[in-house]
Structure 1
Amino acid sequence: MNLAEEYAKRMLIGDGAMGTYLYEKGYSGSYESLNLSDPDLIKTIHREYVEAGSDIIQTNTYAANRIKLAKYQLEEETADINRRGVEAAREASEGRTFVFATIGGIQGLQKMEESEAEIIKAFSEQMDALIKAEPDGIILETFYDLQEITAVIKLAKSKTNLPIIAQVALGEVGVMHGGLPLGEAFKQMTAAGADAVGVNCRMGPYHILRSLEMTPLDENTLYAVHPNASLPDIDDGRFVYQSNPDYFYEKALDFQNQGIGIIGGCCGTTPEHIAQIAAAVKNTVPKKRAAQAVAQKTGQFSIVEPPSTEPSLREKAKQSTTVIVELDPPKKLATSKFVEGAQALYQSGADAVTMADNSLASPRVDNLAMGALVKSMTQARPLLHVACRDRNLIGLQSHLMGINALGIHDILAVTGDPTKVGDFPGATSVYDANSFDLIHLMKEMNKGLSFSGKSLGQNTTFTVGAAFNPNVRNVDRAVQRLEKKITAGADYFMTQPVFGEGQFKEIYEATKHMDVPVYIGIMPLVSSRNAEFLHNEVPGIKLTDTIRQSMAACGEDRALAAEEGIAIAKTLIDEAMEYFNGIYLITPFLRYDITCRLTEYIREKAAVRTEEKSK
């Protein structure tokens, strides 16, 4: 196969996920071993992708190397598993598609026990077995380490003339782990001998597209993308992805316009996603487009006295209109803009500024440190999220004792997004406790008892919030979870962003029996792409068609889109305030100017209502 010739003639459609597709069907363990134990199943899945429109299908050999197979005592089956993987794909294809042998990265973000030499030896063994089975090409995917993938590209070039597609997984938008720009990674992979380079896994279409927009694309280089369906969520202990095939139709066109000629899917994608990609771009020609840069601004701040003691956020929301505003801690070390934003929000009328605990499993400046800065340098009231993901019970108790020692008493207890979502997917998710356990444990600390039941010497004074996702099919079932959280000790609830105008009454009716305030989440949108990303890729958030159309009508005019987002948020606030005293504003991209305006709007609206009632 001459990949460059095929690429020049037409867009090439890849296939979708194998591992998560098998996972959804109830399979576990080594998916690659199914090449031996149930080859008909693997062939059936390959055929589904062929029928969906794939031009290239990948063998079920992603983790079929000796090191990873050893976890299942299958290392001696390495050669057979890889050989049968190619044969199964070839038999399923029946000559209708190209068959590329898949080799996945071995090194994650954690240090491996195996030496570098042992890892290369494992790659070599797998590669020999695959090449012997005569695929049409080789695809390297989900490599976190640039040194590893360039070594494997060179290894492949020393063994075969087959075309090589090499794909990395990114740490953040536009950069690999360690901060290496994607463009530099592409250059090094191409120099090592890759015939096509690209990005797969870790991110959905939105963030991979953003990464490409930030990256200069060489006119003579072939590019491939295989995004995840969305960010993953956890449902009853299982990873799940948004069901959004239609979204992939639009994004395939965006990728094509960005200069990408090979488009498929990774985790969470199915034959339905591939069918949409094929419907959008199959038999059309790749395009070329220049990259765009993104600029950031910084600000100054003033130091003021810390706040005085106030009623709890539970009591406040029971008595009058109360506003909590989320301001995520920065991902970089500069903190002045954040502190400036916290003070500005206070001056606009925010009752508390809440800080997430490494939301979406991406590291930020520690929210305890930021809470301490906010408390000492502004008049804002800090409300800290505490997630169970990153700390065992020892760490959780220590963290909470530190929070109490700093005089911070407002906490939102959350289980935490799985590490697979974030910048360090190889990191361990601890989950010694979940949000229910954490709420209970904090209430025990309020009695002066540690997690082990021993005395702490004095009581903590935490007021504990809990999360509520009303964007579900069955709100009543979600409310049953709230009732369990109340039993555990929750003092109030903060919801995911709500975008359905008729939804507020439904939430009110479902929760009005509870003697616990609900802070309704309102997230102002800043662009159509922001809206589509939230709707299609972020678990627990759904936008109405009307809102998406309104944002899309703004086109690329950022100022117009921001104003439209504010107008939509005001409409949602108007209805929310008919039913709830508590409003929870979520600041987009540290744009506190937007949430300041909305906070002021809420205060003005509340003042008018109070005046009307007094007449």
Structure 2
Amino acid sequence: MPRYRHRLPQLEGALFITDGGLETTMLFHEGFELPYLSALPLLRDERARAAMRRYFARFADIAAKAGAGLIVDGPTWRASPDWGAKLGYAPAELDAANRASIEFQRAIRDEHEARVSPIVLSGAVGPRGDGYKPGEIMSPAEAERYHAVQIGLFAETEADMVTAYTITNAPEAIGIARAAKAAGIPAVVSFTLETDGRLPTGQALGDAIQEVDAATGEAPAYYMINCAHPSHFADTLAAGGAWLGRLRGLRGNASRKSHAELDESTTLDIGNPAAFGAETAALHRRLGHINVLGGCCGTDHRHIGHVADAVRQAASQAAVSA
């Protein structure tokens, strides 16, 4: 039985930590091969599963120290039908792998929930195409049909929610939100942004959020930003707007490079973990309703540890000032 599907605890405003860049950590720090940058095949390898357990344990440590909740995603960002076919999975094998991911995540919750609570299980969903380029944009109806396969499967598991990461365009987000609504599972939509704070399509973030909400009856539980450095979207958030209240999470990249630059990079740019933590915490401090904080490409437990420390220090200083 899903534990929090009908009442997501992060909507109540307390701090929640997420992990960092699972794929980049497994590839560059742990040395595993990730075809098409998909971590899904790691579930087949016990050595890789052990590495992922260690990986998530570090974020549980951070959440425990911060007195925060934890959101645990799995290695399913590239585990939808098209990506599964590229990876060599038959449809039944892909279904089994997605289910196995949620079971893996549930075991992580079982291991750590005595010291970290609540721990929310999220089925990670990715774009049908490239996460950096919108490419050929599906209609909302096409996107709903495509993503309904993976989302419907997650709805049959103990997943509390689904989170669609690195979404480049509003029509795909609309389809994802509709598919989740039809399946009866909460969905979070996380858009990726370019260095100018806009979606890869050129659309403003606020306009994209408003478009999705208008087309779905505000179906997403909330919105996030991921796969962009905090400096890329700080001005966008400072400009504000009514849509800002729908934004609840940030998972930034470690690097300040553009998507085009990262696409051509053969080495991992981890940036400055302390500065990343300070910049993310500053956005949280300015916009207190943004309470789901973590990282994306290039980040690991060091970056998220600095985020949690900076948030805690700011809270302590505010308490002293009061």
TM-score relative to the length of structure 2: 0.78
* Of 212, 230, 236, the match for 1:211: 236
Asked if the contact 1:15–1:57 (Cα under 8 Å) also holds between the matched residues in 2, the reply is yes
* Of 256, 267, 278, the match for 1:250: 278
Q: Which structure would you say has the larger RCO, counting Cα contacts within 8 Å and 6 or more residues apart? A: 2
Supply the AA of the counterpart residue of 1:159. Answer: A
| Corresponding position of 2:298 | 268
* Of 143, 157, 180, the match for 1:156: 180
| Corresponding position of 2:224 | 198
Asked if the contact 1:52–1:272 (Cα under 8 Å) also holds between the matched residues in 2, the reply is no
CA distance in 1, matches of 2:310, 2:285: 12
CA distance in 1, matches of 2:226, 2:40: 19
CA distance in 2, matches of 1:82, 1:250: 35
What is the correspondence of 1:133-212 to structure 2 with a 5 Å cutoff? 133-160=157-184, 162-191=185-214, 192=216, 193-201=219-227, 203-212=228-237
Sort the Cα spacing of 1:116 and 1:6 in 2 relative to 1 into closer, same or farther, 3 A.
closer
* Of 241, 245, 251, the match for 2:269: 241
Q: State the identity as a percent.
A: 21
CA distance in 1, matches of 2:295, 2:77: 14
Supply the AA of the counterpart residue of 1:17. Answer: G
What is the correspondence of 1:347-496 to structure 2 with a 5 Å cutoff? none
CA distance in 2, matches of 1:110, 1:188: 17
The structure with the greater share of residues assigned to helix is: 2
Asked if the contact 2:62–2:305 (Cα under 8 Å) also holds between the matched residues in 1, the reply is yes
Asked if the contact 1:197–1:222 (Cα under 8 Å) also holds between the matched residues in 2, the reply is yes
3-state DSSP of counterpart to 2:295: coil
Asked if the contact 2:170–2:208 (Cα under 8 Å) also holds between the matched residues in 1, the reply is yes
| Aligned-residue offset at 1:21 | 0.8
Q: Please, which runs of 5 or more residues in structure 1 have no aligned partner?
A: 286-615
Q: Does 1:226 align with 2:251?
A: yes
| Aligned-residue offset at 1:276 | 1.5
Q: Please, which runs of 5 or more residues in structure 2 have no aligned partner?
A: 64-68, 316-322
Supply the AA of the counterpart residue of 1:177. Answer: P
| Corresponding position of 1:91 | 107
CA distance in 2, matches of 1:184, 1:237: 31
| Aligned-residue offset at 1:101 | 1.0
CA distance in 1, matches of 2:299, 2:222: 22
Asked if the contact 2:253–2:295 (Cα under 8 Å) also holds between the matched residues in 1, the reply is yes
Asked if the contact 1:229–1:269 (Cα under 8 Å) also holds between the matched residues in 2, the reply is yes
Asked if the contact 2:193–2:232 (Cα under 8 Å) also holds between the matched residues in 1, the reply is no
Q: Does 1:34 align with 2:42?
A: yes
| Aligned-residue offset at 1:227 | 0.7
Supply the AA of the counterpart residue of 2:104. Answer: A
Once the two structures are superposed, residues 136-184 of structure 1 have per-residue CA deviations (whole angstroms, 9 ceiling, x without a partner) of 2211110111100111111101111x33221111245232233322111
Query: Larger Rg: 1 or 2?
Result: 1
Once the two structures are superposed, residues 166-212 of structure 1 have per-residue CA deviations (whole angstroms, 9 ceiling, x without a partner) of 111124523223332211112233342111112111x2111122221
TM-score relative to the length of structure 1: 0.42
Supply the AA of the counterpart residue of 2:278. Answer: E
Supply the AA of the counterpart residue of 2:108. Answer: A
Q: Does 1:17 align with 2:17?
A: no
Asked if the contact 2:17–2:294 (Cα under 8 Å) also holds between the matched residues in 1, the reply is yes
